Amino acid sequence: MNTTAPDPVRLTIVSAGTGDPSATRLLADRISDRTCELAACHGQTAESTVIELRELAADISTALVSQLISPRLEDAIAALGAADGIIASTPVYKAGPSGLFTSFFHVLDDDLIIARPVVLAATAGTARHALVVDDQVRPMFAYLRALTIPTALFAAPEDWGDPALNKRIDRAAVEFVLLMESGFARKIRDASWESYQHEYGSAGGTETGIDLDTDLMRLAAGGSAQ
Amino acid sequence: MQFGIFSVSDITRDPVAGDTPSEAQRIGAIVRIAQQAEAVGLDVFAIGEHHNPPFFSSSPTTLLAFIAATTGRLIVSTATTLITTNDPVRIAEEYAMLQHLSGGRMDLMLGRGNTAPVYPWFGQDIRQSLPLALENYNLLHRLWREDVVDWQGKYRTPLQGFTSIPRPLDDVPPFVWHGSIRTPEIAEQAAYYGDGFFANHIFWPKEHYIRLIRFYRQRFAYYGHGTEQQAIVGLGGQAYIARNSQDARREFRPYFDEAPVYGHGPSMEDFMDMTPLSVGSPQEVIDKTLTFREHFGDYQRQLFLMDHAGLPLPAVLAQLELLGGAVVPVLRKEIAARQDPQTPAAPTHAGLVRARYGDQEPRQPRPNANRGDNVTGGSPYQDSAAAAPAEYPDL
What are the tens digits of pLDDT across the range B122-160? 999 999 999 999 999 999 999 999 999 999 999 999 999
Measure the CA dihedral B130/B133/B138/B141, to 10°. -150
C-alpha distances in angstroms, B84 versus B72, B91, B164, B169? 32, 11, 19, 25
- Its pTM surpasses 0.90: yes
CB within 8 Å of A201: residues ≥ 6 apart = A207, A208, B182, B204, B208
Question: How many domains, chain B?
Answer: 1
- Picking from B154, B205, B261, the nearest residue to A74 by CB comes out as B205
Q: How far, rounded to the nearest angstrom, does the alpha carbon of residue B19 sit from its chain's CA centroid?
A: 30
- Picking from B131, B264, B274, the nearest residue to A70 by CB comes out as B274
pLDDT per residue rounded down to tens, chain A (226 residues) = 455 667 899 999 999 999 888 999 999 999 999 999 999 998 989 999 999 999 999 999 999 988 889 999 999 999 999 999 999 999 999 999 999 999 999 999 999 999 999 999 999 999 999 999 999 999 999 999 999 999 999 999 999 999 999 999 999 999 999 999 999 999 999 999 999 999 988 999 888 889 999 999 999 999 987 7
The reply to whether B146 falls in a domain is yes
Q: Do B192 and A217 touch (CB under 8 A)?
A: no
What does the pLDDT read at residue A170? 98
The reply to whether B270 falls in a domain is yes
The reply to whether B218 falls in a domain is yes
**CATH code for the domain in which residue B160 is found:** 3.20.20.30
The set of long-range contacts for B329-335, using a CB threshold of 8 Å and a minimum separation of 24, is B329/B41, B330/B282, B330/B286, B331/B3, B331/B286, B331/B289, B331/B290, B331/B302, B332/B1, B332/B3, B334/B286, B334/B290, B335/B1, B335/B290, B335/B293, B335/B298
pLDDT per residue rounded down to tens, chain B (395 residues) = 999 999 999 999 999 999 999 999 999 999 999 999 999 999 999 999 999 999 999 999 999 999 999 999 999 999 999 999 999 999 999 999 999 999 999 999 999 998 999 999 999 999 999 999 999 999 999 999 999 999 999 999 999 989 999 999 999 999 999 999 889 999 999 999 999 999 987 666 677 788 899 999 999 999 999 999 999 999 999 999 999 999 999 999 999 999 988 888 889 998 998 889 999 999 999 999 999 999 999 999 999 999 999 999 999 999 999 999 999 999 999 999 999 999 999 999 999 999 999 999 999 999 888 766 666 666 788 876 544 555 555 65
- Residues on chain A touching B130 (C-beta within 8 angstroms): 216
Do the Cβ atoms of B148 and B205 come closer than 8 Å?
no
Chain B positions touching chain A (beta carbons under 8 Å): 130-131, 134-135, 138, 153-155, 182-186, 188-189, 192-193, 203-205, 207-208, 211-212, 215, 223, 261-262, 264-266, 270-271, 274-275
Strands B149-151 and B159-162: antiparallel
The burial class, CB within 10 Å (0-12 / 13-18 / 19+), for B314 is: exposed
The reply to whether B212 falls in a domain is yes
Strands B233-241 and A85-93: unpaired
- Residues on chain A touching B193 (C-beta within 8 angstroms): 222
Q: How far, rounded to the nearest angstrom, does the alpha carbon of residue B70 sit from its chain's CA centroid?
A: 20
- Residues on chain A touching B216 (C-beta within 8 angstroms): none
Q: Which amino acid is at B110?
A: L
The burial class, CB within 10 Å (0-12 / 13-18 / 19+), for B116 is: exposed
Domain map (residue ranges) of chain A: 9-220
Q: Do A200 and B212 touch (CB under 8 A)?
A: yes
Q: Which candidate in B225, B274, B394 is best for mutational testing of the A interface (most A CBs within 10 A)?
A: B274
What does the pLDDT read at residue A1? 47
- Picking from A61, A216, A221, the nearest residue to B131 by CB comes out as A216
The Cα B77–Cα B285 span in angstroms is 24
Q: Do A68 and B203 touch (CB under 8 A)?
A: yes
- Residues on chain A touching B153 (C-beta within 8 angstroms): 224-225
Name the strand (E) or helix (H) holding B354: helix B349-357
* CATH superfamily, region A9-220: Flavodoxin domain (3.40.50.360)
Q: Do B211 and A208 touch (CB under 8 A)?
A: yes
Q: Do B184 and A200 touch (CB under 8 A)?
A: yes
Range of the domain at B229: 2-357
Do the Cβ atoms of B172 and B152 come closer than 8 Å?
no
A 57-96 → B contacts, CB under 8 A = 61-62, 65-71, 74
- Picking from A61, A212, A225, the nearest residue to B155 by CB comes out as A225
Do the Cβ atoms of B350 and B132 come closer than 8 Å?
no
The reply to whether B297 falls in a domain is yes
The reply to whether B207 falls in a domain is yes
- Picking from A205, A217, A225, the nearest residue to B188 by CB comes out as A217
Do the Cβ atoms of B298 and B292 come closer than 8 Å?
no
Q: Is A210 on the interface with B (CB under 8 A)?
A: yes
Q: Do A62 and B208 touch (CB under 8 A)?
A: no
Q: Which amino acid is at B342?
A: Q
The reply to whether B229 falls in a domain is yes
**Least Cα separation, residue B170 to chain A (angstroms):** 25
Name the strand (E) or helix (H) holding B293: helix B282-296
The reply to whether B20 falls in a domain is yes
What does the pLDDT read at residue B377? 61
